[in-house]
Structure 1
Amino acid sequence: MKKKVTIQDVANELGMSRNTVSKALNGQKVPEKTRQIILNKAIVMGYKGISLTATNVNILKNKIHILIVTNKPLANLSFFMATVKGMEQYTEGKDVTLFQYMILDSSTMSHDSFNQYLSTNQISGIIGIEIFNDDIIQMILKTELPVTFIDCHRFINQFSGAFDVILMDNFYGIYELVQRLILNQTTKFGFIGDFTHCRGFYERFIGLKETLSNNGLTYNASYSITEPDYCPYGQVGWMLEQIQKLPDLPQAFVCANDSIAITVIHVLNQLNISIPNEIQVIGFDNISESEHIVPSLTTIHTPKEQLGQEAIQSVINRILTPGIPSRISYIRTSTLIRNSTK
């Protein structure tokens, strides 16, 4: 059962006294700016005991409609099904409704139909899941609605607007695993995945390169497969062809995500290359398949439901507090050592 949010919880979150928070939530006299900060935080946290005084009724009387924008059906984004579950858990019992809108291709999208959808459904804010296309990002930001992106364009800072970004900690998990392998005498590493595709992939790639550099090793691109992301990384036949093209094989492949790593394991098994004795494989995400592949995949666990909850809290906070600065937030990850590494 979900823990009930108390006045003390709100006070702790804001670093204020319980007495001040209690007064604000019960309609007693406090500075108006302080009241708004407390009310906004209480709503975001799901506190149920707010007094409907004249000072806060306008905030509470309107339902919040949040639009989840994707570029493919959520059913095809296995990682994000758990993320959306986290959103639904957070919004349960609150006056928040989730909608979904899919933009398959920037060349066929219609700004007018998108804006009409926003208007018809009285959308209050937008969560973009894996939206990396420049034109789609610009279209979303031009709505001037509060926006939170889950993962983002590699150069998201070039865009202006009222938005936040929620990311997994992509760097330190990779750093920790690569460091572990280096201490076990592994020196030749390849990266598999398009590191220009998104900020998450790029930070994982940088995690590999910096760990090598810090240990006096050099990243060798000839061990890597970094074709554009539209290439069929999930197809065993294509991956087999790419691995066979490599002039030499590394001692370890660091893969941009688990789906790619699982394809790599299938290929290495097909080539009768021993994992982990000849080549070790590292993934990222800890999707359910990573535990059942043979050998099981060493990976980085990402708390997917928490990611969804953080995204919802972020966009609601931006709805309730217009004009706050944009921010990029990271959620801590953890390493899982399984049988694909020594």
Structure 2
Amino acid sequence: MTKEKVTIQDIADALGISRNTASKALNGSESIPDETRSKVIRKAIELKYKQFAFMETDNLLTKNPGNIALLTANLPSTSHFGSRLISGLEKRISAEGYNLSIHIVRDIDRSSRTLPNNFESSKVDGIICIELFDMEYSKELTSLGLPTVFIDCAADMFYPDLQADLLLMENEHSTCHMTKRLIEQGHASLGFIGDIQHCKSFNERWVGFNRALSEMGVRLDPEQCVLNPDREFFSESDWMEKRLKQMKQLPSAFVCANDFIAVNVMKALKNSHIAIPGDIAVCGFDNAPESRIVEPHLSTVHIYSDEMGIAAANMLLSRVKEPALPYQVTHIQTKPIFRASTEKTD
């Protein structure tokens, strides 16, 4: 009695996955991770399913999958825009047959200008850097001669020195737009909160803030800004409260470098019984989940994170194929969102 023909269901059962997943993997669907696809094909060969019956497992892939290394100083949390950006990035490069490996750059790596322990440049086809804001370390990476894309960079980065592609969200114009809106609502004194040397994005938001003041004829009072180094902001739970109390006079609106800072500013103001937006309006940047949870809901700027990940992948893939192309500095559009924290009250 001959054995019944092997079916997709047999492959799915052997691997403990759904028939649909097995089918998609065998049909080359882009929605299936490379690792899963590889397992399904190996099992199809092993079970001698249809056209795979005459294939050898060792010759499964005629081309080894490429490797893209993601280097970051801080692994983004789920609420950070970077986590969604990485998701979009991984989806795009896996569709082109590349694996993504993540490498954490520790403080000791940065200070000693050494690569992460598990990073081997000979096994890497390209590098994507996120949350790496050290200019000298960035130059060390580009000196490896590998296709490299930075997503944001050091605040003092001089683009011709970078020798790599750079992707940023649009920072200046959105912050300028939001600041002008506050001035149009009657705010005559505005302060900026955030370390303007932390990264290029924070620096561009500061530029946008100042541009709005200049164009609207409002004087900047440095005493009403908090521009301390980023590490100080969250060194103590009540640091922001203490810092705001040091101001001789608070402004009528705060423009913050991101939502995380803005939420802490709101908490500090509430602890001092200052009404938002009645006494002081507050806005942030990122459109993080916290911006829709905090009361009142926070005015902010939306970042298209998934699309930025895809754009970064496209920039890198393009660089891998054509290394001699001029380097790109690209901004992806952002969108101001006005909520209750800046609503004008009569």
Please, what TM-score do these two structures have when normalized by structure 1? 0.77
Tell me if the contact between 2:121 and 2:144 (Cα under 8 Å) persists in the aligned partners. no
Q: Which residue of 2 aligns with 1:306?
A: 307
Q: Secondary structure at the match of 2:214?
A: helix
Of 132-141 and 263-272, more deviation after overlay is shown by 132-141
Q: Which residue of 2 aligns with 1:192?
A: 193
The 3 A distance-change label for structure 1 pair 250 and 113 is: closer
| Equivalent runs, 1:146-295 vs 2, <5 Å | 146-157=147-158, 160=161, 162-233=163-234, 236-295=237-296
Shift of 1:117: 2.4
Tell me if the contact between 2:134 and 2:154 (Cα under 8 Å) persists in the aligned partners. yes
Distance 1:262 1:234 in 2: 16
Tell me if the contact between 2:302 and 2:334 (Cα under 8 Å) persists in the aligned partners. yes
Distance 1:282 1:132 in 2: 24
Q: Which residue of 1 aligns with 2:30?
A: none
Q: Which residue of 2 aligns with 1:79?
A: 81
| Equivalent runs, 1:43-62 vs 2, <5 Å | 61=63
- 2:91 pairs, out of 86, 89, 92, with 89
Distance 2:304 2:154 in 1: 21
The 3 A distance-change label for structure 1 pair 213 and 233 is: farther
- 1:104 pairs, out of 100, 103, 106, with 106
Amino acid at match of 1:154: A
Distance 2:256 2:314 in 1: 31
Q: Secondary structure at the match of 1:154?
A: coil
Q: Which residue of 2 aligns with 1:20?
A: none
Distance 1:168 1:176 in 2: 15
Q: Does 1:67 find its partner at 2:61?
A: no
Distance 2:115 2:319 in 1: 24
Amino acid at match of 2:328: R
Question: Matched residue pairs, number?
Answer: 282
Of 136-145 and 152-161, more deviation after overlay is shown by 152-161
| Equivalent runs, 1:131-146 vs 2, <5 Å | 131-146=132-147
Of 68-77 and 246-255, more deviation after overlay is shown by 68-77
Amino acid at match of 1:209: N
Q: Which residue of 2 aligns with 1:26?
A: none
Q: Secondary structure at the match of 1:225?
A: coil
Tell me if the contact between 1:64 and 1:123 (Cα under 8 Å) persists in the aligned partners. yes
Distance 1:173 1:184 in 2: 17
Q: Which residue of 2 aligns with 1:6?
A: none
Q: Secondary structure at the match of 2:127?
A: strand
Of 240-249 and 77-86, more deviation after overlay is shown by 77-86
Shift of 1:160: 3.3
Structure 2, unpaired ranges of 5+ = 1-61
1:104-132 deviations in Å (ceiling 9; x for gaps): 11566666654972246x10111110211
Distance 1:204 1:114 in 2: 31
Please, what TM-score do these two structures have when normalized by structure 2? 0.77
Tell me if the contact between 1:234 and 1:259 (Cα under 8 Å) persists in the aligned partners. no
Higher CA-based Rg = 2
Q: Secondary structure at the match of 1:230?
A: helix
Tell me if the contact between 1:235 and 1:263 (Cα under 8 Å) persists in the aligned partners. no
The 3 A distance-change label for structure 1 pair 136 and 203 is: same
1:130-180 deviations in Å (ceiling 9; x for gaps): 211123212211111111111111232256354111111101111111111
Distance 2:114 2:71 in 1: 16
The 3 A distance-change label for structure 1 pair 161 and 289 is: closer
Tell me if the contact between 1:236 and 1:266 (Cα under 8 Å) persists in the aligned partners. no
Q: Which residue of 1 aligns with 2:120?
A: 118
CA-atom RMSD in angstroms: 2.1
Shift of 1:231: 1.0
1:302-330 deviations in Å (ceiling 9; x for gaps): 01111111111111111110111111100
Amino acid at match of 1:308: G
Of 231-240 and 136-145, more deviation after overlay is shown by 231-240
Tell me if the contact between 1:144 and 1:161 (Cα under 8 Å) persists in the aligned partners. no
1:211-240 deviations in Å (ceiling 9; x for gaps): 011111111111011001121348540110
Distance 2:134 2:159 in 1: 13
The 3 A distance-change label for structure 1 pair 337 and 108 is: closer
Amino acid at match of 2:270: N
